[in-house]
Amino acid sequence: MKKLVFSILFVLQAVFVWSQHSPALKGKVVDSKTQKPLRNVVATITSTNQSALTDATGVFSFDVATEGQQTLTVGSTGYTTQTYTLSIVKGQSLDLGVVFLEEDITSEQQLSLITITENDLGDDNSGSESTAGLLQASRDTYQQAAAFNWGQARFRIRGLDNEYGTTMINGIVMNKLFDGRPQWSNWGGLNDATRNQEFTMGSAPSDYTFGNILGTQEINTRASFYRPGTRVSFSGTNSNYSWRTMATYASGMNKDGWAFVVSGSRRWAKEGYFEGTDYSANSLFASIEKKFNDKHSINFTSIYAQNSRGKNSPNTQEVTDLMGTEYNSYWGWQNGKKRNSRDKNVDEPILMLSHYWKINERNTLNTNISYQSGGIGNSRLDYNGGNNPDPTYYKNLPSYYLNLHNIPADGSLPTHTPNYAQAEIARVDFINNSQINWERMYHANDINKRSIYALYEDRMEDVTWTANSILNSQLSDNITLNAGINFRSLKSENFQKMLDPLGDYGFMDTDLFYEGNGFTAGQSQSDLNNPNRVVNAGDRYGYNYIMRAIVADAFTQFKFTYNKFDFYLAQTFSQTRYQREGLYRNGLYADNSYGKSDKLEFNNYGFKGGLTYKITGKHMLSVNAAYMTKAPMLRNAFNNARLNNSIVSGLDDEKISSVDASYIIRAPKLKARLTGFYSKIEDATKVGFFYAEGLGAIEDGGNDSENDFVAEITKNIDKQNIGLELGLEYQLSKTIKVTGSASYGQYIYSNNPTVLLNIDSRQAAGLNPIVNFGDSYLKNYRQGGMPQQAYSLGIEYRDPKFWWIGANANYLDDSYVEVDPLIRTNNFFMQPGGSGVSYPEVTEDRARQLLSQEKFDSFMLVNLTGGKSWRIHGNTLGFFASVNNIFDVTYKTGGFEQARNANYRELNMDYASGTRSFGSKYFYGYGRTYFVNVYLTF
């Protein structure tokens, strides 16, 4: 298979068509105000996969155009798309003459609101576009709703995590090899510089990659593609930051063949929407292109986007009831300032060099090399020998005393013995001391003459090299070839970094949990090669290892265009290799932590195809289908990569299948798409970490491993996503437009996966640390953390005098908490000691209640947007404003179960008072927020 794919790829690169003839359709695009020609405007015959870009003179042309009645759209970022109904006669050329594009003042919404929803930096958010092969200048109506209206509620298109989409810059894949997700903050704040984008929906074909089942987003930073001019803006908001300033300059291509673009921004806040969430981000961008002649051009792009933000805590219902939805337990006062213990810091500059070769009129080859380095750090408190400094630690809350039980030694049933007086004391004390006490930690370190409290960072420093070549060839009037080869190499250093030992004393690099209590000497050491090491600010400690990954892949794609049918076929092959190298000899895993692990290798393939039937030039039916295999993510390949080299047993490729069918209308007044979709993901693997109590079925040879910090490995996970999408817009008049979008889905776990735990204390006792808990009965539970129903209705008025106002109402429902697999295994019902005997109080009805999945309340969000622009001496001054969630609705955007109560008795007792100590933790959306932006272009 591997040899076949590469052979096809290289052989077909030699197949070129040299024929020359007059274009069947052409036109010239100019700015309606300045009358200047516009370059890189997208012209698309919507019933085909044919698209063309305007050249430096504003001219676009199609060598071949399907005869009959056709619909042509002409659009570019920042301009209102023009739609024309044409009659194409075979053998005759059609010249549209001059096409005037008007500035789209509503495009400011896209440039601004992308930043507003950026509060989920690095979290799930994704976007795509609609029909097969259509080159788009912007998202369609459904995509707009998903990104800007539903995105604030963590909506996922088709219920898919964004690791199943592909994000690219200049043909370079930006999805991380560690977890498969793009790190959006790598180019955050550079809205002007990244505005040239193309989207494909689902498995529809992209000219740049085979892609995945969520879709492809391609960001183009070629310097000559930017509209010449300068743009400066200043913004204020009450979301994740308070202020933003941004400036961009594009030169356009000069007579010597040079073009360059520079852009920069700063965003900052002393405190964002949630308490204690500081924010600081600085972004710089430069792109320089040299055009040597009509065939060869080289472009260099550099992106530097540094971001630091304070996180906000997920909270249980008890904590929220006491403190409110904006409460954040991660910060505390220090010297009169709020200091957050959980900062995320991102600093990963990107360098890209691209060569564009126009071989002839029908063949182009784009070759790219990319280098990215830098790191991501997530800080938190270490308390090695001290009490947990988290103010929401369960012993600090009233529920701890309300859920007290007496458990008789004779095995009889527990009795509920709440201490109401102590619970009231705890309530008052928590309200008065609800934040981290930094001074107390400094004082404790002084008393102990060593650092028992410290602030550290889980740090990942990566070096990624990427090289690829992408061929686009018009093999004949009806056949187009896209092909590419791609190589990526990652070296990722992962370690704990001491940020602040909170005083003048060093921090001992040992784990006091494994000192004494029957543990052997040395088991507490993080690195036996350097025992009893004292670390200070800037030192590495705790864990230290390197992950290496190499991925090579290739794809070919053929697109066929005919009068009534278009179809495409694509195939891909990839090889993935992983290896861990431990730099510390851990005291628990002395023989399996230092040095290199076994190598992991995965060979994967994929096929996809699609068909578009053109009922008329305005009405189409489209079907896409895909099947592929995918290597597990690097983060899920090892049982506990921080401490040892152990590979997940029986690790397998994911199997991914997808099909969708759409009915599409592209008329001058009405644009609509109705899509039904189905996807299946099989044999997925997930690794998570938490502290569990009551792991009853475990025998540990003497050490108490019923309560322990564990790595939870869930294997062979199957997910099934099925649903409908609708997006439509109707131009009621020249000034009024109505839009509607809907998504109805059912996203479930479709099997019972296997759960294993990696338990460190079993390793300390000389036992196998991996315990197989068997099947987790997850089948038909909903996938959590996203609405599975979403509906939007909007209206927009655009005045001829360049002001506009819009409103939309959004209803979201069917959002569920993310369930944990461990408490849905048979072990959940078993008493300690491995006897296999269940708890005597177990009943089927109560078990169903305890294990039922929590569904969040539905909610309605209403948003208002508007803007105005003025033309002053050839320059544009404008402003944009929005108010989201104008009725200040409180709603949950997601949450997860805590699996600390790992058996029936523990969990049942936690419900005794009606206020749980270890209830699910929730994330909340913003209340009423605003965004105001003033900009000037000249």
Q: List 201's β-bridge partners, or say none.
A: 215
pLDDT score of 484: 97
> 220 near 135, Cβ under 8 Å?
no
3-class secondary structure, 112: helix
> 377 near 805, Cβ under 8 Å?
no
Q: Which two tokens stand for residue 103?
A: 């500035």
> 141 near 81, Cβ under 8 Å?
no
pTM: 0.89
> 730 near 738, Cβ under 8 Å?
yes
Q: Which two tokens stand for residue 491?
A: 């070296």
CA distances from 443 to 64, 381, 534 (A): 78, 15, 19
DSSP state letter for 396? G
pLDDT score of 135: 33
User: Other C-beta atoms within 10 Å of 518: how many?
Assistant: 12
Euclidean distance between CA atoms 108 and 80, whole angstroms: 12
pLDDT score of 346: 96
Rounded to 5°, angle at Cα 263 from 261 and 265: 175
CA distances from 826 to 192, 688, 906 (A): 54, 20, 15
Euclidean distance between CA atoms 167 and 88, whole angstroms: 36
Provide φ and ψ at 207, rounded to 5°: -75, -5
Q: Which two tokens stand for residue 135?
A: 């080159």
Provide φ and ψ at 152, rounded to 5°: -65, -15
DSSP state letter for 398? H
DSSP state letter for 668? S
User: Other C-beta atoms within 10 Å of 899: how many?
Assistant: 22
pLDDT score of 917: 95
3-state helix/strand/coil string of 732-747: CCCCEEEEEEEEEEEE
Euclidean distance between CA atoms 134 and 553, whole angstroms: 24
pLDDT score of 898: 92
Which residue numbers in the chain have pLDDT < 50? 1-21, 113-138, 697, 699-704
